[in-house]
Amino acid sequence: MEAATTQSRKPGSSSQPGVAFQRETGAGADRANRKVRTALVCPDIVSAPQARVAESRQAEFEGLAGAIGLDIVISDIVKLRDIRPATFVGAGYLEELAERADELEVELVLFDTQLSPTQQRNLERALDAKVLDRTALILEIFGERAATREGVLQVELAHLKYQKGRLVRSWTHLERQRGGGGFLGGPGETQIESDRRQLQERISLLEKRIDKVARTRTLQRKTRDAVPFPIVALVGYTNAGKSSLFNALTGATVMAKDLLFATLDTTVRKATLPHGRDIMLSDTVGFVADLPTDLVAAFRATLEEVVDADVVLHVRDVSNPDHAAQADDVLGVLADLGVKGETTPIIEVWNKIDLLGDPENVATTLNRIVPAGPTEARVAVSAMTGQGIEALLAAIEKCLSKNARTFRIHVPHENGDDIGWIYSHGEVIRHEEPDETGTGYVVRVQPRHNAAFQRRFADRLSAVDPV
């Protein structure tokens, strides 16, 4: 049964709709310059309470729809006592929504939940409009945002896997084709079987291409491993400010907007720590609650930047009331990737403190924040104003140094190439005055280069100094 209360509102909207939505709603060239009129339905199931309040989930769903410029004319929070197997929502609300949708000329209805193919088909019949669920909306956003060839392949693969299980709603007649001529020709494959076979062929082709991309990335990582820079990966909930922080740390100009999923394709830039040590900073795709499993799997090659990182920066938007629940969602995805605070150092970056108001309110808010999991450090910053950036760089440097080993080595004058190798593969803490035989160096070495360092200079390591 459906509860009596239904909250609705008509929020604002933004830019052009996605091509796929135009195609799905029958939009052609004559509709290319207008937005798709859309209704949002955000179920609030009483029997399955969630960590976020309904209004916050509604605002996020509106942000997802606004990310591809849909014209949101209806936005409802629908309280449900239980889920209807046929239509998800109750008949009363469905009838009311159909009347409003017809009056407002709604073309697309989005449900902030995962719908079964049967529910989707029944809702489309009842509402006389295209119906999509949260997974389809996220896939559409990813399809618009993907800029690299790899990103496009990953999104298409996830989209096809999603569509494969929903072919039944597109083919209700299931006419059979003749399998051969004359009396011997039996019934051929059904239309749905033909479509499913073609989809599977395309899926197999994409998986091979992505596997090839993954092998290429592995070779690139091996090449980069020869370069001594530690890898620091930025992760966080979508719109937490990762790209803005990335730009502040590196001086890059990566797209950074107040927009969900502004970044999809991994970007890597060099940054310099306070004592001159260079690092490779990696900006990755943002996470979101209920991120489609197929999408996580498809982007696994991209997210391997996080798996291979020496340090992970978990960026949290502390100005968002639901940042604690968002942080839990991020850690859940990281755990699926095999990244945990017990094995990979994680620094929590409490971003957007400039939105918290006066210094007293900032201090009060920060004192109440609880780390989402094991962390090496917590640093409060504002990527927009630059506040806390120096402290963050210092925390990264300290974290990288924690498991490093420090050696004293003597380099003869004639071994100039060793000096270059030391500076590129280690952090020179100090060097001594040269004598007639050479120069002494005290060098801090990261774990990834420790074995190579000891092999190269095994006969010249005079002491291990805990600097």
Give DSSP secondary structure letters for 111-132.
ESSPPPHHHHHHHHHHHTSEEE
Kindly provide the residue ranges of all beta strands, DSSP E only, lying in 174-301, ordered along the sequence.
176-178, 187-190, 231-236, 267-272, 278-283
- Give the contacts of 446 (CB within 8 A, at least 6 positions apart): 228, 230, 310, 400, 403, 404, 426
Pairing type for strands 346-351 and 311-317 reads: parallel
- For residues 267 and 406, the answer to whether their CB atoms sit within 8 Å is no
Mean pLDDT for the chain overall: 79
CA distance linking residue 432 with residue 201, whole number of Å: 65
Tens-digit pLDDT profile for residues 281-305: 888 777 777 776 666 765 665 566 7
DSSP conformation class of 80: E
**What pairing do the DSSP bridges indicate for beta strands 427-431 and 438-445?**
antiparallel
pLDDT given at position 446: 75
Place of tokens 């502004």: 262
Q: How many residues does the chain have?
A: 467
Which amino acid is it at 186? G
- Residue 273, strand partner residues: none
Residues of the chain with pLDDT under 70: 1-33, 147-148, 167-192, 217-218, 220-228, 252-266, 292-295, 297-304, 462-467
- Please give the structure tokens belonging to residue 9: 């509102």
Output the pLDDT for position 156: 86
Q: Reading across the β-sheet that carries 427-431, which strands appear in turn?
A: 427-431, 438-445, 405-412, 461-464
